Amino acid sequence: MTAQFECARADCRAAATHHIVWRNPRIHSEDRRKIWLACDEHVGFLSDYLRTRDFPVEVFEGLPE
């Protein structure tokens, strides 16, 4: 049985195809990173959501290792 990782967008249960690495610089140190998983449909929405808050954001295809 293979675990399926789901998109972090609310109410989305699609398979994750990207991971978004981000941090809130007001509360996280430079070495602290958070990861959200996203499907193809929501990767833009989720990364834009973080960028509009001036959070450092990196988007990668695939799931983190």
Q: What is the pLDDT of residues 5-19, one digit of tens each?
A: 999 999 999 999 999
- 56: containing domain: 1-65
Q: Answer yes or no: pTM beyond 0.85.
A: yes
Question: Given this model, what pLDDT does residue 39 score?
Answer: 98
Question: Given this model, what pLDDT does residue 3 score?
Answer: 59
In this predicted model, what pLDDT tens digit does every residue of 21-58 receive, in sequence order? 999 999 999 999 999 999 999 999 999 999 999 999 99
Total domains in the fold of the chain? 1
Residue type, 11: D
Phi/psi for 51 (5° steps) reads -65, -35
Question: Given this model, what pLDDT does residue 65 score?
Answer: 86
Task: Answer whether residue 1 shows pLDDT above 50.
Answer: no
